[in-house]
Amino acid sequence: MPIATVNPASGETLKTYEAMGEEEIERRLQLAEATFRTYRTTGFVDRARLLIQAANLLEEDQQDIARVMTTEMGKPIKQARAEVAKCAKAMRWYADRAEELLADEEPADSDVKDSGASRVRVRYRPLGPVLAVMPWNFPLWQVIRFAAPALMAGNVGLLKHASNVPQTALYLEDLFHRAGYPEGCFQTLLVGSAQVDDILRDERVKAATLTGSEPAGRAVAATSGEMIKKTVLELGGSDPYVVMPSADLDRAAQVAVTARVQNTGQSCIAAKRFIVHTDVYDAFAERFVEGMKALVVGDPMREETEVGPLSSEKGRDDLEELVEDARRGGATVLCGGHRLRRPELPGWYYPPTVLAGITREMRIHREEAFGPVATLYRAADVDEAVLIANDSPFGLSSNVWTRDEAEVDRFVRDLEAGSVYVNGMTASHPAFPFGGVKRSGYGRELSGHGIREFCNITTVWHGA
């Protein structure tokens, strides 16, 4: 895949870039290693000052970088500006709390005495250069949620961003440079996916984090396992959205629309499978379908647009194939279901679509639909709702709508997911751990759990 900005709203190639050669990659790896030796000794006050300055600059750049993101991957402009604000918030959160999150821990006095020590501490030390392989769908947020905690922990970052968002990738390196970080603290590697393996095998790279597809995760995990390097993987998701009879149906249906089409449906944590109790199925389906039909599809640079183009022609074609497979298998199309053919929208658009009558034989039951396509399921009771929800290779997040506390307890206990959102839509926040189980990956980002993922957890034992 070429490294290029291709506007998905028009299909026009705007800028192309040459991939870095071996000499430039080597120079940057040397710089990362050298910078880490000194940056690791800086204190939290200095690190926080730099990160806050980066957040300030990001906010000043909000309008410009939002337009870059929208141009590169088609995100509606309002959502692009919101992404910028979210990144600045997370940067300030880690700047304020990293020292506390990574403070030395003192084991219980009885355990210290039992070990024969006079004192024992657990200290969190940085690992070194961390390679981040990041996706295009949230081109700022996915990077910042890695970079902010990694830099505050004393690590340095190497970014291999998706090949269709090179301007955003280069902006991120420039942002940290302008904020005053030492050269080499955060570097963008303009390389293709074929070059990742060699970089990951380099001994100077100490760990890796990847957000992306399952095949990409498998490749990074395999190489990291061979090299015995720590990894965090956040892969696909096909999140269930369960609606029970006691739910506020109007609110559940309204939020369901947003949960499905946020980022034009191109989000791992977007709700994708809507599992509705039979007693309220028809009422929910009517509200949900009407809400999906009412969405404004259009030019992502227009303020009123709610659903923009998919990021690539292949992404649109893959989504279309999933829908056609379901249709051939007997699924009912309640709205949408065909690519848009409007002369004023020449890009890679697909309309908000709702499918019902899904069976296990259909691909869309097992595969992630990365676009504004929802599937509806009917459940007879809690037991069947849990069975349908867990009948997926993924386990990223989940949503449950009920006012029955016993049902809440049951879903929290039994849903196979990294998080359970009750009467609300899945969203990431810097204070809460984020990640999944099963084929959605392993490890956690954000919160204290995220900042400690790339630390050497060191026991310091003092003799009596």
Asked about 268 being catalytic, the answer comes back as yes
Distance CA 6, CA 232 (A): 29
306 given a catalytic annotation: no
CA distance 411 to 400: 8
Burial degree of 355 (CB within 10 A; 0-12, 13-18, 19+):
buried
94, amino acid identity: Y
Which residue of the set 72, 83, 87, 268 is catalytic? 268
Return d(Cα 198, Cα 386) in angstroms, integer.
Answer: 43
Tokens 């984090």 locate to 209
Catalytic pick among 33, 72, 83, 234: 234
* Residues annotated as part of the active site: 234, 268
